[in-house]
């Protein structure tokens, strides 16, 4: 039996579902001006603002105008929480203003109140690939130390305004995307940072990370001053990189690959840079702008919990030049998008992360992207139920057999939204099908999928019906 306060819910991100990209005084965000992408073509930040069809994030699924209908459906499923992000550029349209945009703040008040009306607690990410475009353009995004102050001002405004409505917060979504190159939509673009051919990219990556760590730790300190009950987490994408074989060197490869993935939470949870990173900087002569005061702030602003997304696992094979190569696992099947389906990997990573930190863990994303077919107003998404069910089973094993402290589970996505890697809606994840054509014509355009009933049942029985 799991804790009765367990946070079952669903997750989304503002840029992928709100739409209304220029309504209510909102500024343009980096995602608003991003091209579409696919497995071979990473999305890119452009300088222009093209018509809606070219930029699906502009319209999202128009949650901005339909939030009441959609939250009502979440309530029908019995959500205990709803993970969403605040669009930074709704609050500070350019990012560097002194005063926030009241209309943007009022919008989230309305959304949070609507959730609370049904007993759904909002769980908020402050930065989910949504930097104001102006900051990316004028400051180079997180390349610039001044952006820390802009973020802090934004975070402070949010904590002050919403601390009575929101207890759980996360600072940066999948902050460790910065180090991973296999994801076409990596956080360099999400962080509003453009690659430059002629620079030491590794050095830049560590510098950007440092500024984000600092911004996050200062935000944690600020939050605690405003309301000591607030719980602030970091957020990473996690998944095992199993050793490719039982050869000792493959074991080391896996260990090192996992260190690289956990580097971000090592800093945000422990408040210091790990020794393996300091050695790497020495070896590679990486010089960074890090002051003693910065280091003290990292120490004073450690996070309360580890939020993470789990979709898939991979394997690490020893390699002389690169230390390890990340490869796909021949023992697991794959989704239409080639993502490995590995429910046991969730139990594995929960154990590893809990061993490493002994902090509460929050699974804030887990889900199955697929081409769904709407037939007679219904979607039979058995494959999604299979995926989610098998993952929930493994999560329960981690809690009940292994004693891991998991505080909640918010599958991606509560409802169909625009995919982060493609910029299209066709890679669907939701319990609710969205017919965009109908939504564009002003209709609700939403349909419950088979998984809707399944999830409702899981929540109702607190996972007992599995």
419 binds ligand BGP (CB under 6 A): yes
The alpha carbon of residue 370 and the mean position of all alpha carbons in its chain are separated, in whole angstroms, by 19
Reply yes or no on whether 365 is catalytic: yes
Q: Using the rule CB under 6 A, give the single segment among 23-31, 86-94, 146-154, 418-426 that binds ligand BGP.
A: 418-426
Residues 236-295 that bind ligand BGP (CB under 6 A): 237
Set 130, 174, 222, 365: catalytic member: 365
Distance CA 49, CA 285 (A): 40
Asked if 229 and 159 count as a contact pair (C-beta separation under 8 A), the reply is: no
Distance CA 429, CA 427 (A): 7
Distance CA 452, CA 433 (A): 10
427 binds ligand BGP (CB under 6 A): yes
Identify which of 128, 119, 165 has the alpha carbon closest to the alpha carbon of residue 413. Answer: 128
Q: Is the peptide bond before 334 cis (omega within 30 degrees of 0)?
A: no
Q: In angstroms, give the least distance from the CB of 337 to ligand BGP.
A: 7
Residues 178-207 that bind ligand BGP (CB under 6 A): 185
Instruction: Out of 7, 13, 257, 388, point to the residue binding ligand BGP (CB under 6 A).
Output: 13
Asked if 281 and 288 count as a contact pair (C-beta separation under 8 A), the reply is: yes
Distance CA 242, CA 257 (A): 9
416 binds ligand BGP (CB under 6 A): no
309 binds ligand BGP (CB under 6 A): yes
Q: Give the binding-site size for ligand BGP (rule: CB under 6 A).
A: 14
Residue closer to ligand BGP by CB (options 176, 435) is 176
Residue closer to ligand BGP by CB (options 346, 420) is 420
Q: In angstroms, give the least distance from the CB of 283 to ligand BGP.
A: 30
Q: In angstroms, give the least distance from the CB of 170 to ligand BGP.
A: 11
Beta bridge partners of residue 235, listed in sequence order: 307
Q: Please give the C-alpha separations between residue 461 and each of 129, 310, 343, 375, 464, in angstroms, as whole numbers.
A: 35, 23, 21, 29, 5
User: CA neighbours within 13 Å on the CB side: how many for 140?
Assistant: 10
Distance CA 295, CA 290 (A): 7
369 binds ligand BGP (CB under 6 A): yes
Q: In angstroms, give the least distance from the CB of 4 to ligand BGP.
A: 28
173 binds ligand BGP (CB under 6 A): yes
Residue closer to ligand BGP by CB (options 127, 173) is 173
Residues involved in catalysis? 365
| Interacting residue ranges for ligand BGP, rule: CB under 6 A | 13, 16, 173-174, 185, 237, 309, 365, 369, 412, 419-421, 427
């Amino acid at each position: 039996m799991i804790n009765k306060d367990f946070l079952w819910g669903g997750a989304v991100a503002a840029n992928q579902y709100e739409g209304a990209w220029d309504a209510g005084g909102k500024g343009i965000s980096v995602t608003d001006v991003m091209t579409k992408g696919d497995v071979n073509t990473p999305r890119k930040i452009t300088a222009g603002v093209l018509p809606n069809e070219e930029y699906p994030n502009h319209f999202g699924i128009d949650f901005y105008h339909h939030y009441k209908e959609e939250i009502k459906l979440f309530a029908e499923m019995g959500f205990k929480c709803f993970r969403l992000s605040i669009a930074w550029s709704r609050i500070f349209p350019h990012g560097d203003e002194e005063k926030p945009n009241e209309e943007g703040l009022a919008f989230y008040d309305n959304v949070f109140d609507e959730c609370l009306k049904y007993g759904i607690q909002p769980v908020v990410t402050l930065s989910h690939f949504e930097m104001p475009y102006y900051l990316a353009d004028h400051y180079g995004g997180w390349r610039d130390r001044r952006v820390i102050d802009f973020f802090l001002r934004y975070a402070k405004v949010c904590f002050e305004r919403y601390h009575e409505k929101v207890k759980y917060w996360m600072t940066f979504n999948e902050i460790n995307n910065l180090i991973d190159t296999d994801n076409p939509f990596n956080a360099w673009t999400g962080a509003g940072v453009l690659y430059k051919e002629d620079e030491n990219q590794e050095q830049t990556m560590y510098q950007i990370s440092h500024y984000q760590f600092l911004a996050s730790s200062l935000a944690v300190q600020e939050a605690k001053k405003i309301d000591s009950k607030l719980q602030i987490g970091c957020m990473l994408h996690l998944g095992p990189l199993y050793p490719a074989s039982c050869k000792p060197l493959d074991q080391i490869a896996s260990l090192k690959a996992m260190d690289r993935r956990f580097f971000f939470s090592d800093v945000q949870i422990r408040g210091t840079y790990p020794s393996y990173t300091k050695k790497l900087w020495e070896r590679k002569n990486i010089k960074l702008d890090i002051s003693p005061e910065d280091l003290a702030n990292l120490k004073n602003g450690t996070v309360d919990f580890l939020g993470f997304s789990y979709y898939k696992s991979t394997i690490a094979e020893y390699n002389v030049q690169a230390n390890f190569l990340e490869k796909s696992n021949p023992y697991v099947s794959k989704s239409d998008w080639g993502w490995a389906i590995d429910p046991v990997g969730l139990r594995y990573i929960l154990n590893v992360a809990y061993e490493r930190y002994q902090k509460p863990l929050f699974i804030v994303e887990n889900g199955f992207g697929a081409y769904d077919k709407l037939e007679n107003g219904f979607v039979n998404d058995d494959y999604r139920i299979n995926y989610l069910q098998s993952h929930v089973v493994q999560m329960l094993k981690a809690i009940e057999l292994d004693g891991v402290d998991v505080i909640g589970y918010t599958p991606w996505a509560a409802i169909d939204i625009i995919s982060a890697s493609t910029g299209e809606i066709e890679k669907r994840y939701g319990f609710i099908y969205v017919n965009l054509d109908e939504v564009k014509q002003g209709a609700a355009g939403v349909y419950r999928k088979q998984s809707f009933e399944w999830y409702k049942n899981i929540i109702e029985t607190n996972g007992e019906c599995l």
